[in-house]
Amino acid sequence: MDSYVLILLALATLLPALSAAICYVIRNSAVRNFVVVVNTLVLFYIAWEFTRLLIASNGSIRIDEHALPFNVGEIIKYLDVLLLVTIGYYGFKLKKPLIITLTVLQLVPVILFEFFMTVPEPATAFVIDYLALVLILLISIVGPIISVFAIGYMKEHEHHLHLEKTKQPRFFMVLVGFLGAMNALVMTNNLSWMYFFWEVTTLCSFLLIMHDENEISIKNAVRALWMNLSGGVAFIAAILMIYYAKGTLSVEEIVNTPITGGFVGLFPFAIGLLCFAGFTKSAQFPFQSWLLGAMVAPTPVSALLHSSTMVKAGVYLVVRLAPAYLGTELGKVIALAGAFTFAAASAIAISQSNAKRVLAYSTIANLGLIICCAGIGNHIALGAAILLIIFHGVSKGLLFLCVGTIEQGIGSRNIEDMQGVMKQMPYTTIIMVIGAQSMLLPPFGVMITKLLAIEAAVSLPVVLTLIVFGAAFTVVFWVKWIGLVLTMSYKPKLVMEKLAFSISSSLGLLLIGVLVVCMGIAPMYNMLISPQVKAFHVADKIMLLGGNDGGIWLQAWNGNIVGGFAVLSVFVILGILTLGMLFYLKRTTLDEVRTPYLCGENIDMDIRGLQFTGPGEKAANVVVHNYYFMGIFGEEKLTLFLNLGAMALILLMFGVVMR
Amino acid sequence: MINNILIAVIAVIAAPIIGGLLSGIDRRLTARFQNRFGPPIVQPFYDFFKLVGKENISVNQTQMAYVWAHLLFAIAALILLVLKQDLLVLIFVLAFSTISLIMGAMSVRSPYSKIGAQRELIQMLSYEPVLLLMVVGIYMLTKSFMIESVFSMDSPLLYKLPLVFFAFLYVLTIKLRKSPFDFATSHHGHQELIKGLTTEFSGPQLAIIELTHWYDLIILLGIITLFFANPLWVGILIALGAYFVELVVDNICARMTWQWMLKATWLAGIGSAGINIIGLYLKA
């Protein structure tokens, strides 16, 4: 059993690294594709095995440091230095003093701490609990699917760019290697190891954003780098403080502080710093601009950054630390900051017509909601936070892949250009619409977590109001988009578009993933999330339950049901509607179809209503755009003030831990 | 279980009948306000069956599916109400019903219906926060999101939530698409918007939309009765009174712009609901 776990652990972290190396060294597309597919299948297997083992061992797999075959701590020490030197090298190469400064600010404490002080490593090197498992499942299932999608996408992408020399080896190296670093990050119990993997993801995302190496991608990559490095500086500072305050670097012991010791001295400040690091990585206001800039990279990168890796590391850390700040002032400020980002990002998303920007703002908003829930810290909220990590990861991964496919199909990522895309690319469009619906409509998961967030936040009026506004904004920008995409005139038969197999299969797989997690919310909650929330030692009056009816219910301490609904029954209605949609698609015939109303000035024989007889008897095009409310929700109008507000909240966060 | 199914079935059948009659009374009263005689009270049903009998005409293949979604989710919301389920879920499901209609209106290449859809969306943006705050207000008193808990309260919600009640009345005007907030669609097809949201729906589609409207009416009046649930007949009287007030407002107001509505609703609706809820927090 123990050695089997070790093998799995090695596979989860080192196999992606090995695949990455092969992708880079053997510059042959057939080999590369083979490696990516094998890597995918093995990671699926690992995800399955970890789930099985974790349930069999009652929710905790622990691996002692001395059980590892070699001294990992010693290796990571040198890799730490190597990593920072690499980042510093990019700082010199691109002549960015800020990056060099931030690197030095980390390098000095790292060397002092790792080489000149004798720090006892925690006895337990790796701890896998349900929270880690949820992340492992995301990283090892959604991540690899995205890498498979990238096979077809990058071929087309480089074809468009007319590159002389392919850059795919490096691209796939970073893309696949990223997964290994993320797996290690969520499994490790050693805070200083976590710091190493944390910075690896920073470097990976920098390299991926920079991939196309034009002016704008370099600029945005540098921005992503310095913002995340500032989080890294906070992280290393927090490690030093925690070590001084508690004398341990074991994540387990740190989060159990309420039990093992008080929330006093340097320690709260260190927790605040770690949350700050989480905020930068999760692109919370005022650090949202790096994630928005990241969309210059090829689509698989955005999909990966937004769904299973990178930003999820940030929320993972904040949720992981939740027991440490549970019920403190710090928790309340974190909830406030998260809710603020949720409302702010959702508001700006209304004004965006670029599909990827809408998705990016929606990601930022959802991450804000996850952080908010972690900060609220009651039973329902923590359950909702972990649920949202899952739902958001799967749906957002799918949506980015769909937008990327449509972009390659119609040559635009502007939502306005997607009008009528249903007729050109029905397969992708239908999947995208289901993906978008899963972000806002009942009975899909994201909406359920919003519901739970509202039900959890009733004790914090300001947080609650922000969530309520955010929820209303969310509806507006999604519905505008879905409505436009589904706009179509009559077409007798929809013909499926031709897509590369890697693209169509990964879209299909992720769609199945979305449906499975949304329909299986009750068993998933009972099996994976409820034990985790219990392990957080939250004593609360209201608990969350997955019901036998496939629903999700809130139960008060006296056994009364105080909220929730039967999720599956709403899916039945949706199923009926889907069948109805197919029925009407088939049934409607040409002689039932009329032109849209254009004040009687339709052009003859134009059944689609694309033109009308305009002034001077000339044919004029019918053009209707969506409303974007630039005057109210415009990015330029709001960003400055929202950033200032968010900075004030972060100052407040440090204010409450200083006392 | 059997009992629940029975209640649901009765509600699904009875609601449109009552809703239709109420909108018949609405038309009759409105006519009297305007010094006209007005149609018979059962006129909405005549209209409904006439529409059902019309031939199927559509602008694209998908319209009808959205209309069905509009209806089915309204029915789902009604069932949630009569089975006394989670009020917050009810609000979300009801929103889905409206969203379906919006998407249906956006699905055709028609400027009028698209603009109507965008305006309906703005309406949702302005009233949705108020509805959610209303649910929170009710939770603060009952400590439960289930509608069932409202019925076990000793004193009516109205006494402790007067401002939330006012905010809900305000939202009711928008939800029923009455003046001054009838800019997504209106009863008169000769304005700048033509028929807005419903421009491109005809015949049976329009019949289903009308039917859904009756369901909506009953659900909204049902929520009003929650404010005075013990004894229920007082609540029903209050609901009918509120409906009458809506008619009067409809007849004495001119249509406003959406900018005005957004500001006014957030100020008056969220403002008053917010003050009420903060008051409850201070007391708690």
**pLDDT tens digits for A478-528?**
999 999 998 888 777 778 888 899 999 999 999 999 999 999 999 999 999
Q: What mean pLDDT value characterizes chain A?
A: 89
What tokens were used for A582? 């197919």
Report the residue count for chain B: 284
Query: Which pLDDT does position A563 carry in this prediction?
Result: 84
pLDDT value for A657 = 83
- Per-residue pLDDT band for A587 (boundaries 50, 70, 90) equals confident
CB atoms within 10 A of CB A104: 14
Asked if B115's CB is within 8 angstroms of A624's CB, the reply is yes
Q: Answer yes or no: is pLDDT of B264 > 70.
A: yes
SS3 B235: helix
In a mutational test of the B interface, the residue from A458, A459, A560, A586 whose CB has the highest number of chain B CBs within 10 Å is A458
Mutate to test the interface with A, among B4, B59, B70, B130 (most CBs of A within 10 A): B59
- A609 and chain B: CB distance < 8 Å anywhere? yes
DSSP string, B147-185: HHHHHT-SS-HHHH-HHHHHHHHHHHHHHTT-TTS--S-
Contacting residues of A for B200, CB less than 8 Å apart: 596-597
| Whether A593 and B93 lie within 8 Å, measured CB to CB | no
The confidence score (pLDDT) of residue B191 equals: 65
Q: C-alpha distances in angstroms, B3 versus A20, A263, A601, B9, B77?
A: 61, 53, 56, 10, 18
With bands split at pLDDT 50, 70 and 90, how would you rate the model's confidence at B50? very high
Name residues whose C-beta falls within 8 Å of residue A651's C-beta, 6 or more positions apart in sequence.
Answer: none
Q: Decide if pLDDT at A371 tops 90.
A: yes
Predicted local distance difference test score (pLDDT) of residue B41: 93
Lowest pLDDT segment from B181-190, B199-208, B212-221: B181-190
Residue A476 in contact with partner chain B when CB distance is under 8 A: yes
Number of A/B CB contacts below 8 angstroms equals: 182
Residues linked to residue A126 through DSSP beta bridges, in sequence order: A63, A188
d(CA A241, CA A235): 10
Q: Containing H/E element for A537?
A: none
| Beta-carbon separation of A563 and B56 below 8 A | no
Chain A, 436 to 455: residues with Cβ < 8 Å from chain B are 441-442, 447, 451, 454-455
- Look at residue A600 in the predicted model and tell me its pLDDT: 77
- For residue B58, the chain A residues in CB contact (below 8 A) are 588, 592-594
CA–CA distance, B220 with B223 (Å, rounded to integer): 5
Question: What does the mean pLDDT of chain B come to?
Answer: 89
Nearest to B193 by CA among A608, A621, A597, A479: A597
Of how many residues is chain A composed? 659
Average pLDDT score over residue span A50-59:
91
Please answer whether residues A291 and A305 qualify as being in contact, where contact means their C-beta atoms are separated by less than 8 angstroms. Answer: yes
CB-CB under 8 Å, A627 with B122:
yes
The mean pLDDT value for A296-318 works out to 92
Q: Where are the domains of chain B?
A: 2-283
- Subunit contact A476:B124, Cβ cutoff 8 A: yes
pLDDT, greater one: A286 or B193:
A286
* Interfacial A residues in 509-568 facing B (CB < 8 Å): 554, 556, 560-565
Kindly give, in sequence order, each residue whose CB lies less than 8 Å from that of residue A45, ignoring residues fewer than 6 positions away: none
Chain A neighbors of B85, CB-CB under 8 A: 565
* Residue A258 near residue A326, CB atoms below 8 Å: yes
The set of residues, in sequence order, having a beta carbon less than 8 Å from that of B97 and lying 6+ positions away, is B69, B70, B71, B73, B74, B76, B77, B212, B216
- pLDDT value at residue A176: 92
Does A152 contact B at CB distance below 8 Å? Answer: no
Residue in B61, B63, B144 nearest the CB of A560: B144
Looking at residue A517, its pLDDT comes to 93
A273: contact with B, CB 8 A cutoff = no
pLDDT mean over A359-373: 96
Closest by Cβ to A596, choosing from B110, B117, B135: B110
**Residue of chain A nearest B196, judged by CA positions:** A597
Beta-strand runs (E) in A237-286: none
